[in-house]
Structure 1
């Protein structure tokens, strides 16, 4: 296993890079392929399985539910069983889910595969955040956390072109996703340290369920979830229906969103320059701007693609800020802090999806501007000084 530079378990430079690279790839595989790729293949699934909008939406909601259950379980299990075991479990679940989707003979099996694959994302984030917090030297910790978190953008950027090119051979695409997830899982098994509780053994001190500062974290994560729901829920639909961009150009917008999501890796450096409060303000305002632009000018290709880029970069950065915020609120149990932040973020997105769906009846632009306003309001909730 990885060498360390002191008895406390801090990794040397080479081991840190291996952990970072493996973490980025695991997040990319679980989020970009196992979870978010479903939305890219919905048009094909509708044709293959006769899905209607209600059924496809119910499957997506089930994926959200499995994510919430998984992230709670991973947050509780990581300090006891160690980061490596839980991270490998995330990859294994992603492999299983993507293989079930690839082999699905009917809509019921497809739904099961999507639920299993979607749960891998909830399992993946807490152990990686815990491993970084326990084994990376303090000066590199924030940057490493946000770089790993930006793996989501890489996954979406890779899955997008595959979805674009493999529409008629979608089963092969999902087999390719499964093989990729398997390779990444093996890498995680070799590169992620055990990193259990504070003393690296199974007996760790319990932490308060809601310590000081957790209330602000919950409100902030809920606001981010509500604000981001418009783009995640209606973004492609608005580009196709209101903007008239078609399936291909709207999917390209999603690829751009994923590519620029990698910029969100700079959230750690942004926090070092502006502090947690300043970074939260900047990234939420940027997300508000991208959301407002996408909803207001979906018919202008250049503006729409720029808005997708701005949203992708800012959303990943926002989630990176929430990740670091969670580890600060729960310094003794980083997995719990990340789990709480990302759970509330997902719950906010679920509630936001219902809200923007209802508001869209009065016009998509109104729904998107409302979401942007929520992001601006969310800047009023800031980390403790």
Structure 2
């Protein structure tokens, strides 16, 4: 393991998220047109396959905190990378829907394990006052991965098998990097025998509202992630290579999501959520209305990338603030909700495309997004409220960080001692 600063860890975490989220999960939509053509898959079947990594993500996220406790942050991150390598290789060699489905399912496990592993490592390497910001930067790594996949599709149009083999090589590099950088911290136990306070009814109610909005956003965004490239190729009759520019726009604009989420977190989250959901809905409607115009399609992708990454970053930071003493739970719940929404939305989009076409399917999901945005005043507020909430948050933070870290053998863990032992 090597020494790393808070900024360095944020950038390193963003790189691992780029591989696990960007390449192993969201890049799939970019390659749907050639994969569907080569394997003879229907839109409905693609919708089902597109939901598999989201389902496996939910299962992996549910066990990831326990894996980080039992196996340690380093081993959990490495295991995540191994699942990514296996999944990417299987996709590159798939001959039908079954092998393709197993590959994307394995990639979903990779995605679900990575963020909890990085969160566990963050508690050792990053000052607690920077946790929200570092998490937001790492979350923006998804956009980096999406952008990295663009040159591959531009220069290897139709050669999706070679593209996924290249992604697998990147994932192998990520496995070795995770083993070298991430500490072997395993679990946390109270140093003074004081356990965190139980989650209150008010906190559960806020988490429920947060999860409901995250689920709805995931449901609406599934249309774009899975079917946007296929829409411009099928309905707009653009070449497959042109979809690379759309994904590049999504990735570049998504990088601004880290900043936007941080600003929203410190100002008015409900208003920002409403604005970003409106932008998300508008991006779907714009793409369906002008799929043959590459510039309008690119603008739609810019709007979608900024809106999606801002929303996921906002949900992540809200979860951290709502459960400040439970970093393995607060950031995970909204991500699970987003993936559940995408898992439900993906086959629904496939059914609508099969029966009514792309334009109606995307317009329907756009309308749903607008309706959800109108409910944003119900988004949990946690900054402007007084007294009792602030005291509750402060108490949770104190309980959360008066902890003693222990290593994988159960001995007291010290990052500095591990560095000295290495040198």
1:140 maps to what in 2? 130
1:26 maps to what in 2? 16
Any conservation in 2 of the 1:77–1:86 contact (CA below 8 Å)? yes
Deviations 1:235-291 (A, max 9, x none): 223323443434232332122112221111213431354254454344333323333
- When structure 1 is superposed on structure 2, of 285-294 and 335-344 the one drifting more is 285-294
In structure 1, the residue corresponding to 2:10 is in which secondary structure? helix
Any conservation in 2 of the 1:79–1:333 contact (CA below 8 Å)? no
Any conservation in 1 of the 2:277–2:370 contact (CA below 8 Å)? no
In structure 2, the residue corresponding to 1:335 is in which secondary structure? coil
In structure 1, the residue corresponding to 2:378 is in which secondary structure? coil
In structure 1, the residue corresponding to 2:267 is in which secondary structure? helix
Q: How many residues end up aligned between the 2 structures?
A: 374
Any conservation in 2 of the 1:79–1:204 contact (CA below 8 Å)? no
1:17 maps to what in 2? 7
* TM score, norm. by length of structure 2: 0.78
Among 223, 244, 247, the alignment partner of 1:251 is 244
Any conservation in 2 of the 1:88–1:189 contact (CA below 8 Å)? yes
CA apart distance, 1:173: 2.2
CA apart distance, 1:228: 1.7
Any conservation in 2 of the 1:227–1:372 contact (CA below 8 Å)? yes
The 5 A counterparts of 1:1-385 are 1=1, 14-104=4-94, 107-132=97-122, 135-199=125-189, 205=195, 208=199, 211-212=203-204, 213-271=206-264, 273-357=266-350, 361=356, 363-364=360-361, 366-385=363-382
CA apart distance, 1:151: 0.7
- When structure 1 is superposed on structure 2, of 283-292 and 111-120 the one drifting more is 283-292
Any conservation in 2 of the 1:288–1:375 contact (CA below 8 Å)? no
Change (3 A) 1:353 1:22: same
The whole-number CA distance in structure 2 between the counterparts of 1:209 and 1:351 is 30
The whole-number CA distance in structure 2 between the counterparts of 1:168 and 1:358 is 26
Any conservation in 1 of the 2:222–2:345 contact (CA below 8 Å)? yes
Any conservation in 2 of the 1:130–1:333 contact (CA below 8 Å)? no
Larger radius of gyration: 2
The whole-number CA distance in structure 2 between the counterparts of 1:267 and 1:134 is 26
CA apart distance, 1:83: 2.6
The whole-number CA distance in structure 2 between the counterparts of 1:83 and 1:62 is 25
The whole-number CA distance in structure 2 between the counterparts of 1:341 and 1:19 is 23
Give structure 2 stretches of 5+ with no counterpart: 383-423
The whole-number CA distance in structure 2 between the counterparts of 1:51 and 1:292 is 25
The whole-number CA distance in structure 1 between the counterparts of 2:190 and 2:39 is 48
The whole-number CA distance in structure 2 between the counterparts of 1:204 and 1:317 is 36
CA apart distance, 1:55: 3.7
* TM score, norm. by length of structure 1: 0.85
Give structure 1 stretches of 5+ with no counterpart: 4-13
CA apart distance, 1:322: 0.8
